[in-house]
Structure 1
Amino acid sequence: MIKTYLFLTGAVFCEVAGTMLLPVSQNFTKLAPTAALSFFYLCAFYLLTFVVNKLPIAIVYATWSGLGIFTIAIMGYIFFKQTLAWQAVLGLFLIVLGVILVNSFTGKVS
């Protein structure tokens, strides 16, 4: 099960890396960032294929998208100087709390 969550973590990392390269690619006009973001997205989906065999797809997608949204918001603040209202920050922490709750009860229901 730890291997499954490592794959899921890798998929989140790759999705975040690809998304962070979107503005850098300047509407896909810059070749290197476009190639890199394509590589990261392909890797993210490839890693997800291993995870969906072990966990329900709803749990996988909720975790992948929730942690991706949270991480991208933080990285956007750090690298692109994008600001977030306190309500948005609260919402992001609620997303993380939801991901934790969803994963805490995965496998406990038959």
Structure 2
Amino acid sequence: MLGYIFLAIAIVTEVVATTFLKFTSGDNPKWWAFAIVVVGYVASFVALSQSLSRGVPLGVAYAIWSAVGVAVIAVISWVFFKESLTWVQILGLVLLIGGVGLLELGGRHPAA
């Protein structure tokens, strides 16, 4: 269970870092955003590593980490930055999350 808590921390810190990438670009990049990006990605990889050392399989951890991150970033971009999110993209996100769910379910072995 602790491994999945670290995985959640990895996802949150990665989403924060990726969101603040938006503020590092353009005509007036913000210096403080660079610091948030670096700290966020370092924290994310440390937490991801901790989740692996606590029993979360690498394939499952990476699939959850990347898929949830992509989905949350897409929604954040749509809500806060007014970027487009079409029905086709939404369907893609649903399929992505569904695929990761199947990956997780496929790895569980019931007790005999």
Is the TM value for this pair above 0.5? Answer: yes
Match of 1:62 in 2: 63
Query: Sequence identity of aligned pairs in percent?
Result: 31
More helix by proportion, 1 or 2?
2
Tell me the CA shift for residue 84 of structure 1. 1.4
CA RMSD, 1 decimal: 1.8
Tell me the CA shift for residue 105 of structure 1. 2.8
Match of 1:36 in 2: 36
Residue ranges of structure 2 left out of the alignment (5+ in a row): none
Tell me the CA shift for residue 82 of structure 1. 0.6
Match of 1:52 in 2: 52
Tell me the CA shift for residue 4 of structure 1. 1.0
Residue ranges of structure 1 left out of the alignment (5+ in a row): none
Tell me the CA shift for residue 29 of structure 1. 4.2
Match of 2:17 in 1: 18
Amino acid at match of 1:19: T
Tell me the CA shift for residue 100 of structure 1. 1.5
Amino acid at match of 1:50: Q
Amino acid at match of 1:92: L
Tell me the CA shift for residue 101 of structure 1. 1.5
Tell me the CA shift for residue 26 of structure 1. 2.0
Amino acid at match of 2:47: L
Tell me which structure has the larger Cα radius of gyration: 2
Amino acid at match of 2:56: L
Deviating 4+ runs (over 3 angstroms):
none
Cα distance in 1 between the residues matched to 2:103 and 2:3: 16
Deviations 1:67-107 (A, max 9, x none): 00000001100110011121110010111111212122334
Cα distance in 2 between the residues matched to 1:33 and 1:101: 36
Amino acid at match of 1:25: T
* SS of residue paired to 2:83: coil
Question: Would you say how many aligned residue pairs link Structure 1 and Structure 2?
Answer: 108
Cα distance in 1 between the residues matched to 2:2 and 2:107: 16
